[in-house]
Amino acid sequence: DAGVIQSPRHEVTEMGQEVTLRCKPISGHDYLFWYRQTMMRGLELLIYFNNNVPIDDSGMPEDRFSAKMPNASFSTLKIQPSEPRDSAVYFCASNTRWAASGGVGNEQFFGPGTRLTVL
């Protein structure tokens, strides 16, 4: 397995544009997490899904942010409209409670991240 896959790896856009970040979790994992990493705030959980259903979106900063998981192998994080303060690295992570599917308790497996720059 290639691990968690994220695209694009880098995104540069202008303020006001729509940005869509994509994530493919590890096959068999039923939990998916979106994080934002900044120098000032470290790693913040934005939202997470279980079996494609959003469980906790309390970390989503505002209505400009939305996330979907239409199926077990794909999720998107959308920012519309984007602002310069959204510039950060966005990580996706996945895991499962089922050891038969490769789960190791609460260990989360992270993607390489998408570095977003909003000018």
Partner 1 sequence: AQRVTQPEKLLSVFKGAPVELKCNYSYSGSPELFWYVQYSRQRLQLLLRHISRESIKGFTADLNKGETSFHLKKPFAQEEDSAMYYCALSGSTFYNTDKLIFGTGTRLQVFP
Helix (H, G, I), strand (E, B), or coil: what is residue 57?
Answer: coil
Q: Which is nearer to partner 1, 53 or 99 (CB)?
A: 99
Distances (CA, A) of 16 to 7, 80, 83, 100: 20, 7, 6, 44
Task: Tell me how far apart the alpha carbons of residues 21 and 116 are, in angstroms, rounded to a whole number.
Answer: 9
The contact mask relative to partner 1 for 57-96 (x = CB under 8 A, - = no) is ----------------------------------x-x-xx
Q: Which stretch binds partner 1 (CB under 8 A): 12-20, 40-48, 65-73, 78-86?
A: 40-48
d(CA 4, CA 39): 23
Count other C-beta atoms under 10 Å from residue 81's C-beta: 14
**Binding of residue 108 to partner 1 (CB under 8 A):** yes
Q: Please give the residue ranges that form the binding site for partner 1 (CB under 8 A).
A: 3, 31, 33, 35, 40-45, 48, 56, 91, 93, 95-97, 99, 103, 105-108, 110-113
